[in-house]
Amino acid sequence: MSWILFSMVLSIVVLGGLLAATPWLMPPTECFTITVPPSAQHDARVVKLKWSYALCVAAVSIACAAGLSWALISVGNNNPTEEQLVFLTSAITETTLIPIGASFILMLRSRSQVKVLKEQEGWTTPTRRSATLIGNDFPGPLPLAWNLLYIPLVLGMIAFALLSYDRFPDQIPINADFSGNVNNYADKSLGSVLFPAMFAAFMGLVFTFTHWMTAISKKPIDPAAPATSALAYGRFARIQSLLMLIGGLTLSSVVGITFYLSALQMLSLEASAAIITVVALVWVGIVIVFSALTGQSGGRLAAQLRTTDEVVADDDEHWVLGTFYFNPQDPSLIVPKRFGVGWTINHARIRAWLLIGAFLAFTIGFSIFITWAIA
Amino acid sequence: MILEVDFGSEEPIYRQIRTQIVHGVATGELQPGDALPSVRVLAGNLGVNMHTVNKAYAVLRDEGYVAMLGRSGAYIADAARPASPARAREQEAQIVSDLRRLAIEYRARGGSFDDFVALATMQAKSVFTSKKGDDSK
């Protein structure tokens, strides 16, 4: 089994681990997407719900990882047939999607149980308040200007490609099968030689867009602990934006360097793919570790710093299935996720849908453009 | 500074926003030239309608606390810069009438002159001596 495939199995385990740990990563006033007082997190029944959710998700993920390993071993090391490739692709897709689906269903089950407990225990809040910080002492994501670093990267790649144009062979290997045999070449042309620069520009735009979305996100301030929750969220947003910046620049550079090295026949395509996979996985691993350390919206830090058990805000009614934020009264387009680490959109805002649509159109457009440019 | 709104309060939300920004100016937490968040950002972070924030900013602008630049730029205005002399007289008259109303209410409940002055002095002292970062009300 090629170890690129092994790393896919590993990433399913890591993904499953993050999904299983999610109930412990949320802000202190959220439990399976339901607003509760922080002390409820230590209620024996709630703790039991969290553990049974976590163990189920972990079991499903391990089963999926085992299933994928079995699929990979059964196909074996030799050149897989067309049929086997289809089988492998669907196995990889399914074993990635099943833990996500299981986590969603198990979350919904635990959510309805927490809802019942909330009713029984009177964990509701009579007051409805909200808070924000104004002034410049508000921590937040890195300034967007940091993304200008992509410009020298792209320009450097263009300069290198043009200056070394004569040294590239007439055929540039661009694709290899699972066992490393090159099965697709591109004719040498400006389009194919400039591929890394176009890819870096694409990554730059995608990561800048993502960074901008975090910058315009609603800042989730807990009115019962405004300063500490703002601090926790600010640190979280800063770390996430920093990881995105470093990840985007590193991946673009590594793709560019390995592409040129393999085009100049100084590195095999398999080694290039291995290097890119390792770098991408290490980056994903770092993102997951930091997400687990800070928690969603800095929830773990916020939990440590919170001194009262008061809950004064409850917007559960706007979270459809605990997952989709739908609040026509809220002008925010982007909000932090309710279950999981990251951000989502306010589904009641047409502008938010347009943003997602524009993003998808840009990604698909780029894929078509790059295929055309290389061919 | 922390800005908080209470959706259960009888005081309209735009008044709550207005009062707290005036408080921030009084205590020096908000200095002349400090930028306020845009209407969209403040409304989003508080989870209130944009019209509400627009109204609060419009009132603050009319009262001379905030200078509006363009569509979304709101800044704390220079201190003691009422919109016009007429406006300044109006504000002074408003304060006098508010104080008179409070004194009448206090006396109606059987309070003495000395106690009222003592309470007023205490509040005035706490406002005029509180420094930046002190959020006591």
For B88-100, the pLDDT digits (tens) are: 788 888 889 999 9
Q: Given an 8 Å threshold on Cβ–Cβ distance, is A132 in contact with B6?
A: no
pLDDT in the model for residue A1: 44
Partner-chain residue, chosen from B4, B37, B49, that has the shortest CB–CB distance to A223: B4
Q: Which of residues 46-65 of B touch A (CB under 8 A)?
A: 46-50
Residue A244, helix vs strand vs coil? helix
- A223 CB neighbours in chain B (<8 A) are 4
Q: Which residues of A touch B49 (CB under 8 A)?
A: 329, 331
B-chain CB neighbours of A227 within 8 Å are 2
Closest-CA distance, A110 to chain B, in angstroms, reads 27
How far is the alpha carbon of B103 from chain A, nearest alpha carbon, in Å?
31
How many C-beta atoms lie closer than 10 Å to residue A262's C-beta? 22
Residue from the list B29, B40, B46 with its beta carbon closest to the beta carbon of A130: B46
d(Cα A239, Cα A246) in Å, to the nearest integer?
Answer: 10
Q: Do B45 and A227 touch (CB under 8 A)?
A: no
Whether A1 and A77 have beta carbons less than 8 Å apart is answered as yes
Which pTM does this prediction carry? 0.85
B48 to chain A, closest Cα gap in Å? 6
Strand partners, B66: B76
Q: What is the DSSP letter of A142?
A: P
Which residues of chain A neighbour B34 with C-beta distances below 8 Å? 135-136
Q: CA nearest A227 in B: which residue?
A: B2
User: Per-residue pLDDT for chain A (375 aa), expressed as one digit of tens each?
Assistant: 466 777 888 889 988 999 999 999 999 999 999 999 999 999 999 999 999 999 999 999 999 999 998 888 887 766 677 788 888 889 889 999 999 999 999 999 999 999 999 999 988 887 789 999 887 667 889 999 999 999 999 999 999 999 988 888 888 877 766 556 677 778 888 888 888 899 999 999 999 999 999 999 999 999 999 888 999 999 999 999 999 999 999 999 999 999 899 888 888 888 888 888 889 988 998 999 999 999 999 999 999 888 888 888 888 999 999 999 999 989 999 999 999 999 999 999 999 999 999 999 999 999 898 888 876
CB A19 within 8 A of CB A100: yes
B6 vs A135: CB contact, 8 Å cut-off?
no
Hunting for tokens 């490739």 — which residue is that? A85
Instruction: Provide CB contacts within 8 A for B39, sequence distance 6+.
Output: B50, B53, B54, B57, B72, B74
A130–B4 CB contact, under 8 Å: yes
How far is residue B32's CA from residue B25's CA, in Å, rounded to a whole number? Answer: 8
Across the interface, which of B3, B8, B40 has its CB nearest the CB of A132?
Answer: B3
A226 at B interface, C-beta within 8 A: yes
Q: Which of B4, B21, B45 sits opposite A218 (nearest CB)?
A: B45
Cα(A163)–Cα(A182) distance, rounded to whole angstroms? 26
Q: What is the ipTM of this complex?
A: 0.81
CB–CB of A32/A339 below 8 Å? yes
CB A104 within 8 A of CB A323: yes
pLDDT band at residue B135 using 50, 70 and 90 as cut-offs: very low
Pair type for strands A334-336 and B2-6: unpaired
Q: Write out B86-122 in H/E/C secondary structure.
A: HHHHHHHHHHHHHHHHHHHHHHHCCCCHHHHHHHHHH
Q: Is B10 on the interface with A (CB under 8 A)?
A: no
Residues of B in contact with A135 (CB under 8 A): 1, 29-30, 34
Please check whether residue A221 touches B, CB under 8 A. yes
CB atoms within 10 A of CB A185: 14
Closest alpha carbon within chain A to B43: A331
Of A227, A315, A332, the CB nearest to B44: A332
Yes or no, beta carbons of B30 and A135 under 8 Å apart: yes
Inter-chain residue contact B45 with A221, CB threshold 8 Å: yes
- Write the residue in B4, B29, B44 that is nearest to A218 by C-beta: B44
